[in-house]
């Protein structure tokens, strides 16, 4: 209940502050966010983080596979295999929208 109350208070506070700031301030924030997102340093850092995430996910997959083994239902195992094959068959872009450049 405490977390719900905190969420509702935060939502209400954000709404009030947002309406007081108005459309002009919203457009300023949007422009600033776009500039940050288009910054080459930010883009490179995001790409590096995505690549590291893929590496760690691959390692985790192997560790979980070894520990779980044959206890996974065949339908789940087949789905995982098909997803891995789809992603390794030369796709240029992953599900996160980042390129492999």
Q: Give the Cα separation of 8 and 25 in Å (integer).
A: 23
For every one of its 101 residues, what pLDDT tens digit does the chain have, with 9 covering 90 and above?
Answer: 778 888 888 888 888 777 777 778 778 878 998 999 899 999 999 999 999 999 998 888 888 878 877 677 888 878 888 888 877 665 545 555 555 55
pTM of the predicted protein model: 0.45
- Cα separation, 15 vs 91, whole angstroms: 41
Residues 6+ apart with CB under 8 A from 36: 42
Domain boundaries, the chain: 2-68
8 Å CB contact between 93 and 100: yes
Q: Residues 46, 48, 52, 57: is their CA dihedral positive or negative?
A: positive
Is residue 98 within 8 A of residue 47, CB to CB? The reply is yes
Rounded CA separation 13/19 (Å): 10
Number of H helices, E strands in the chain: 3, 0
Q: What is the pLDDT of residues 48-73, one digit of tens each?
A: 999 999 999 888 888 887 887 767 78
């Amino acid at each position: 209940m405490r977390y719900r109350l905190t969420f509702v208070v935060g939502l209400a506070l954000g709404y009030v502050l947002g309406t007081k700031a108005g459309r002009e301030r919203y457009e300023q924030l949007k422009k600033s966010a776009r500039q940050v997102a288009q910054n080459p340093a930010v883009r490179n850092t995001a790409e590096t983080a995505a690549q590291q995430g893929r590496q760690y996910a691959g390692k985790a997959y192997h560790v979980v596979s070894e520990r779980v083994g044959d206890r996974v239902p065949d339908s789940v195992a087949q789905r995982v295999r098909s997803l891995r094959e789809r992603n390794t068959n030369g796709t240029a872009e992953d599900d996160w929208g980042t390129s492999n450049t």
